[in-house]
Amino acid sequence: MNVEEPWCIKDRKLDSELKKLDIWLDFKRGSRFPCPECGKPNCSAYDTREKVLRHINYFQYPTYLHIRTPRVMCSNCGILQIRVPWARGLSHFTLRMEAMILELAQKMPVLQVANLLGEEDKKLWRVIHHYVDEARSKEDFSDVFVIGVDETSRKKGHNYITLAVDFEDSKVIFVCEGKDSSTITSLSEDLQNHNGDPSNIKSVCCDMSPSFISGISTELPKAEITFDKFHVMQAMNEAVDEVRKEEQKKIRN
């Protein structure tokens, strides 16, 4: 757990009935802390509050850290709660627990992760949104030149979403709701918000959707459109089937 000065473990209790482990953390009397806002060192504790964080399981038991967390008096910023080394800001979870949530959320639905960990899914979504937003804000699309665009639905035939993939990086770079031409407008805006340029896009692979074709010709003016093989073959197979059915009818008559 990396408990370092001025912190110390004050108490621990393994409750086999409630199936949980509680650990109480405290700081040494007279300790001084940097201001969480301006970084001014050696601020003295003003008062304390208990902060409870869910940690990863030990011995298969959910573990909770009860941290006696000081507020410090900073001459520049006033009275502020310090940042504890095990968590970020106002999170209910420790950093190690958040890392586990992110790891599991890549492998199973979030509701399933919530059931597995015995937590509300909305708390997990808050963690996921925080790190996804942070990672996305750092994305740089200045060297995106060749993309693929396709739509999919969450339920069969309902709730369409459109995805764009950077083919050179094999990476999804954009997702939004819908499948009309406005999705390409949103994609173009998102490229610009991340250091990209819609006129850098030289080639787009998509299905034969008139909405995509019209959106691409307006929003990505330098892009050549390639219809992907899967959709071309699908359209061809449908056409061949039609002809076959017609011929069968003629033979029967």
Binding site for Zn ion (CB under 5 A): 35, 37-38, 40, 74, 76-77
Q: Which is nearer to Zn ion, 74 or 124 (CB)?
A: 74
**Minimum CB distance to Zn ion, residue 84 (Å):** 17
**Minimum CB distance to Zn ion, residue 67 (Å):** 21
Q: Which is nearer to Zn ion, 72 or 105 (CB)?
A: 72
Query: Rg (Cα) of the chain, in Å, rounded?
Result: 27
**Minimum CB distance to Zn ion, residue 81 (Å):** 12
Q: Which is nearer to Zn ion, 76 or 199 (CB)?
A: 76
Question: Which of 132, 127, 202, 210 shows the shortest CA–CA distance to 174?
Answer: 132
Q: Which is nearer to Zn ion, 77 or 99 (CB)?
A: 77
Q: Which is nearer to Zn ion, 43 or 204 (CB)?
A: 43
Question: Which of 148, 193, 184 shows the shortest CA–CA distance to 166?
Answer: 148
Kindly report the CA angle at 49 between 47 and 51, in degrees rounded to 5? 150
Looking up tokens 């420790």 gives 94
Q: Which is nearer to Zn ion, 36 or 198 (CB)?
A: 36
Q: Which is nearer to Zn ion, 56 or 77 (CB)?
A: 77
SS3 5: coil
CA distance 49 to 69: 5
Q: Which amino acid is at 8?
A: C
Determine contact, residues 193/136, Cβ cutoff 8 Å: no
**Minimum CB distance to Zn ion, residue 32 (Å):** 13
**14 bridge partner residues:** 21
Determine contact, residues 196/144, Cβ cutoff 8 Å: yes
CA distance 151 to 164: 9
**Minimum CB distance to Zn ion, residue 83 (Å):** 12
Looking up tokens 């999170």 gives 91
**Minimum CB distance to Zn ion, residue 41 (Å):** 10
Determine contact, residues 50/31, Cβ cutoff 8 Å: no
**Minimum CB distance to Zn ion, residue 72 (Å):** 8
Looking up tokens 């699309």 gives 141
